[in-house]
Structure 1
């Protein structure tokens, strides 16, 4: 029985031909990604935007989705994208945001932008992690 199902599954799987290329033709470009991040953040936030916890949760999800979709349109080949948007209240405290990855300095890149006004701080980052 198991051999029948495994044969059926193998026949349904897509196979791609090996390109024998070791690097991406369209490498992750932090400058272009940073422009997208700035556009999206500035479209959603301004100098008079107040901080509200429920609103911050929803708007950070919206911005994450919008940034991710726009960066995907750039079609960076062989890159996995990780998009993070944090919105926190400004209350005379420090903010530490960190992400850890296995990082290949030759291929992996990131772009980020930080926005702040009198009531909130927004930090948005996109990591392009090379995937062979």
Structure 2
């Protein structure tokens, strides 16, 4: 049997084949349009369809959005660091206005008498009352403006049942600048002890 390779029986046709992904890679890489087509095709292939529809532009926007958000956050942090003022050391070793023990004691007495004069002991409300007294005393003492002093308020409350109680504290401080003020109050049903510590910091 003879097999003829005569091209006249099978005339050639000028068919143009659409370039594939492999052809695009082998083309010149310096073309901007080619780079954009490759990037768009990769995004389209890697994008997960949402509700059955894939969108390459959506994936591209999400990538750009993540990059912009990270850049903006880093930029804002750098601006805050640059705008933060740098203060010089004052070399101040002693307070301008020392902690006034008598003034603070009078403030504690005034608050306790106004809040506990007719107050009855209630185990369900004593915790809130203790916090209320502590905040009131701290606010009053801070309004006296003892400059560069940290204020610590300690409050103890309980019912009067002819029991004995001892309250103590211990700390490390500077006896020349730091001090404390305390006041004890009682009515027919309860007692309260409030101590305020004024700690000077350089």
Specify the TM-score bucket, using the shorter chain as the normaliser: 0.7 to 0.9
Structure 1 runs not aligned, ≥5 long: none
Instruction: Tell me if 1:40 matches 2:111.
Output: yes
Structure 2 runs not aligned, ≥5 long: 1-74
Q: How many residues align?
A: 129
Instruction: Tell me if 1:73 matches 2:140.
Output: no
**TM-score w.r.t. length of structure 2:** 0.58
Query: Helix, strand or coil: the match of 2:125?
Result: helix
**TM-score w.r.t. length of structure 1:** 0.85
Instruction: Tell me if 1:111 matches 2:170.
Output: no
Cα offset, 1:6, TM superposition: 8.7
Structure 1 segments of 4 or more deviating over 2 A? 4-17
Q: Distance in 2 between matches of 1:87 and 1:112?
A: 14
Cα offset, 1:54, TM superposition: 2.0
Which of 191, 198, 201 is the matching residue for 1:121? 191
Q: Distance in 2 between matches of 1:84 and 1:122?
A: 11
**Which has the larger share of strand?**
1
Q: Which residue of 1 aligns with 2:82?
A: 11
Aligned in 2, Cα 1:14/1:90: closer, same or farther, shift over 3 Å? farther
Considering Cα pairs closer than 8 Å and 6+ residues apart, tell me whether 1 or 2 has the greater RCO.
Answer: 1
Q: Distance in 2 between matches of 1:98 and 1:5?
A: 49
**Greater Cα radius of gyration, structure 1 or 2:** 2
Q: Deviations over 1:48-95 (max 9, x none)?
A: 532112221111111111110111011111111101111111122211
Cα offset, 1:8, TM superposition: 5.9
What RMSD over aligned residues (CA atoms) do the two structures have, in Å?
2.1
